[in-house]
């Protein structure tokens, strides 16, 4: 009975997600665009095949876009429209709603990763190994970014949340070592960027896909800390009514 409600809610969330054109641009359009553009146009020189560098970056970007931007903005407007309040008087519990939103993010990510990996394979990308480990890091990244998305959604007005989530997406794309290597950044900016969850996720996935031996421990630690800190903050500070 309870599972039926959670699944119905997850399906409604996914239906809404797929109906929001602007959300699809952010979750599918931009990551695919980054992959095609930087994969085909050699704007930044990287050592070896640019795809080896780019694919882990766009996978991290995809996770950031669905877990933080798409989930966060949708939840912010759920709060604005009183949807969260109304659901609060139904038998769907808060943990049920959280489970439904988790399933929604996983559903969108499945679509994203299928499309991105498909495009990458067509472009000639081959994984170096460590695929299960890469997926584990993407999952931890999902937890961190969902925490961030919900933290913003549950504390800001819907419009401020919309602007900030999109702004963070852009900033973290630039500071995340996703489209070009972090070493291109000035060293002060780089040291700062390395402490942010975006670069930590991209570097962890990149290391794993290169070889499980090459995983950068510092990036993994940074990622895990964010994945604990952000959901805890979100749970503490989330306000159900705007």
Distance CA 11, CA 101 (A): 10
Query: Residues 150, 155, 157, 160: is their CA dihedral positive or negative?
Result: negative
The span of 53-61, 88-96, 170-178, 182-190 binding another protein (CB under 8 A) equals: 88-96
- Cβ atoms within 10 Å of 192's Cβ, excluding its own: 13
Distance CA 217, CA 221 (A): 6
**Does the protein bind another protein through residue 114 (CB under 8 A)?**
no
E strand residue ranges, the chain: none
Q: How far is the CB of 24 from another protein (least distance, A)?
A: 13
The span of 35-43, 74-82, 118-126, 194-202 binding another protein (CB under 8 A) equals: 74-82
Q: How far is the CB of 103 from another protein (least distance, A)?
A: 14
70 or 142: CB nearest another protein: 70
Vertex 14: Cα angle to 8 and 17 (nearest 5): 145
19 or 183: CB nearest another protein: 19
Distance CA 177, CA 149 (A): 20
88 or 128: CB nearest another protein: 88
Which of 36, 44, 57 has the alpha carbon at shortest distance from 184?
44
96 or 207: CB nearest another protein: 96
Q: How far is CA 29 from CA 9, 98, 131, 199, in A?
A: 25, 26, 24, 21
DSSP code, position 238 = -
Q: How far is the CB of 113 from another protein (least distance, A)?
A: 25
- Cβ atoms within 10 Å of 233's Cβ, excluding its own: 16
Instruction: Give the one residue of 86, 126, 157, 239 binding another protein; rule: CB under 8 A.
Output: 86
* DSSP notation for 171-183: HHHHHTTSSS-GG
Residue with tokens 């929001």: 20
Taking residues 4 to 33 in sequence order and writing x for each that binds another protein by CB under 8 A, - otherwise, the string is xx-xxx-xx--xx--xx-------------
**Does the protein bind another protein through residue 93 (CB under 8 A)?**
yes
**Does the protein bind another protein through residue 78 (CB under 8 A)?**
yes
Taking residues 211 to 230 in sequence order and writing x for each that binds another protein by CB under 8 A, - otherwise, the string is --------------------
143 or 156: CB nearest another protein: 156
Instruction: Give the one residue of 33, 37, 90, 167 binding another protein; rule: CB under 8 A.
Output: 90
What are the residues binding another protein (CB under 8 A)? 1, 4-5, 7-9, 11-12, 15-16, 19-20, 78, 81-83, 85-86, 88-93
């Amino acid at each position: 009975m309870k599972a039926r409600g959670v699944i119905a809610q997850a399906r409604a969330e996914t239906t809404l997600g797929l109906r929001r054109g602007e959300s699809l641009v952010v979750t599918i359009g931009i990551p695919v665009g980054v992959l095609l553009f930087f994969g085909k146009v050699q704007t930044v020189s990287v050592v070896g095949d640019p795809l080896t560098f780019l694919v882990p970056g766009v996978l991290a970007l995809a996770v950031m876009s669905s877990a933080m931007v798409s989930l966060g903005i949708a939840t912010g407007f759920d709060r604005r429209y009183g949807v969260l309040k109304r659901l609060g008087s139904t038998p769907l519990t808060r943990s049920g709603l959280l489970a439904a939103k988790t399933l929604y993010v996983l559903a969108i990510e499945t679509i994203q990763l299928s499309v991105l990996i498909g495009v990458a394979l067509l472009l000639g990308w081959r994984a170096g190994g460590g695929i299960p480990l890469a997926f584990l890091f993407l999952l931890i990244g999902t937890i961190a970014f969902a925490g961030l998305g919900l933290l913003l959604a549950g504390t800001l007005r819907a419009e401020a949340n919309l602007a900030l989530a999109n702004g963070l997406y852009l900033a973290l794309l630039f500071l995340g070592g996703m489209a070009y290597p972090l070493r291109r950044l000035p060293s002060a900016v780089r040291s700062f960027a390395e402490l942010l969850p975006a670069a930590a996720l991209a570097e962890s996935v990149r290391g794993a896909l290169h070889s499980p031996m090459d995983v950068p421990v510092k990036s993994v630690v940074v990622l895990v800390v964010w994945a604990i800190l952000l959901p805890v903050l979100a749970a503490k500070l989330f306000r159900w009514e705007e």
